[in-house]
């Protein structure tokens, strides 16, 4: 079975400092992985997607993630946090053919 | 705005009542998914349709839950005899896949329906 583990339930950063949200995956085959963001009272929005092409994936709003098979990781990074990045972030793996299995989420807090 | 829409956004009901939620996918999207999200957790898959066919159901989808997509456009999710444990956010998503299908199709989510069972 496919699963993801988000290693931090909360991450706090100051505006302008780097962001690192950690995700490890477990998959019996080459996985498809996503990061979604959920702002309060808004729907889930896709940040980026990995589907076995380039291991470094660039997403929206300056986020990127690197697929590392040897470490079974798919960490999300951003060089400089902005106040508007404060939200909950979900690491997601495709299970079966099309259904998504979500991690428990990491709440990103950004202080001025 | 032509995104996924859900109605109602909020529903409060008493235990034992039936509730029905509606999801309108992005126009021409052939796949439609339902997920449930409880407080402090990530969304969990419930079921999905390709056009009007229900292709997969999670074990989470008990006999009290039924979903339909009669004309391959909008979908409804009905919960009969609601229980307090049904309180959650119910999310709908849609995607477009070709004839061969796509593993890991990009799913676009609606804002959700928050259900509170008293």
Q: Are residues A44 and B3, on separate chains, in Cβ contact within 8 Å?
A: no
Share of chain B above pLDDT 90, in %: 77
Cβ-proximal residues to A87 (8 Å cutoff; 6+ apart), any chain: A37, A38, A39, A40, A107, A108
Q: Taking chain A (112 residues) in consecutive chunks of 10 residues, what is each chunk's mean pLDDT? A: 93 98 90 92 89 88 95 97 96 84 96 95
CA distance B58 to A71: 30
Given this model, what pLDDT does residue B20 score?
98
Q: What distance in Å separates residue A49's CA from the closest CA in chain B?
A: 8
CB contacts, 8 Å: A8 with chain B: none
CA distance B14 to B115: 11
Q: Which residue has the higher pLDDT, B23 or B106?
A: B23
Q: Which residue has the higher pLDDT, B106 or B7?
A: B7
Tokens of B102: 């796509």
Given this model, what pLDDT does residue A95 score?
80
Q: For testing the chain B interface, which of A97, A104, A107 should be mutated: the one with the most B CBs within 10 Å?
A: A97
- pLDDT one-digit tens code per residue, B55-86: 989 988 889 999 999 988 999 999 999 999 99
Q: Are residues B109 and A43, on separate chains, in Cβ contact within 8 Å?
A: yes
CB contacts, 8 Å: A102 with chain B: 42-44
What's the number of CA atoms in the CB half-sphere (13 Å) around residue A7? 11
Q: Are residues B111 and A101, on separate chains, in Cβ contact within 8 Å?
A: no
Given this model, what pLDDT does residue B99 score?
61
- Listed residue (B82, B40, B43, B91) closest to B62, CA to CA: B82
Q: Are residues B56 and A96, on separate chains, in Cβ contact within 8 Å?
A: yes
Q: Are residues B42 and A104, on separate chains, in Cβ contact within 8 Å?
A: yes
Given this model, what pLDDT does residue B1 score?
54
Work out the pLDDT band at B2, boundaries 50, 70, 90.
confident
Work out the pLDDT band at B104, boundaries 50, 70, 90.
low
Given this model, what pLDDT does residue B28 score?
87
Q: Are residues B3 and A32, on separate chains, in Cβ contact within 8 Å?
A: no
- pLDDT one-digit tens code per residue, B47-63: 999 999 999 899 888 89
Q: Which residue of A has its CA nearest to B58?
A: A99
Q: Indicate whether B98 pLDDT > 80.
A: no
- Listed residue (A35, A20, A48) closest to A100, CA to CA: A35
């Amino acid at each position: 079975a496919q699963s993801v583990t988000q290693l931090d339930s909360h991450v706090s950063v100051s505006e302008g400092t780097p962001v690192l949200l950690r995700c490890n995956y477990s998959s019996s085959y080459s996985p498809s992985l996503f990061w979604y963001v959920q702002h309060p009272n808004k729907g889930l929005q896709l940040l980026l997607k990995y589907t076995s092409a380039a291991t470094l994936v660039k997403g929206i709003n300056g986020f990127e993630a690197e697929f590392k098979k040897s470490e079974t990781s798919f960490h999300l990074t951003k060089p400089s946090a902005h106040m508007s990045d404060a939200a909950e972030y979900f690491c997601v793996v495709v299970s079966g053919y099309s259904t998504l299995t979500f991690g428990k989420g990491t709440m990103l807090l950004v202080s001025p | 705005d032509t995104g996924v829409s859900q109605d109602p956004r909020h529903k409060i009901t008493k235990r034992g009542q039936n509730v029905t939620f509606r999801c309108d996918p992005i126009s021409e999207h052939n796949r439609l998914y339902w997920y449930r999200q409880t407080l402090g957790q990530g969304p969990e898959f419930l079921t999905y349709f390709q056009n009007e066919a229900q292709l997969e159901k999670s074990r989470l989808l008990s006999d009290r839950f039924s979903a339909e997509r009669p004309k391959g456009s909008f979908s409804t999710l009905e919960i009969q005899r609601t229980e307090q444990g049904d309180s959650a956010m119910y999310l709908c998503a849609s995607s477009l896949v070709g004839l061969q299908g796509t593993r890991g199709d990009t799913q676009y989510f609606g804002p959700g329906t928050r259900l509170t069972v008293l």
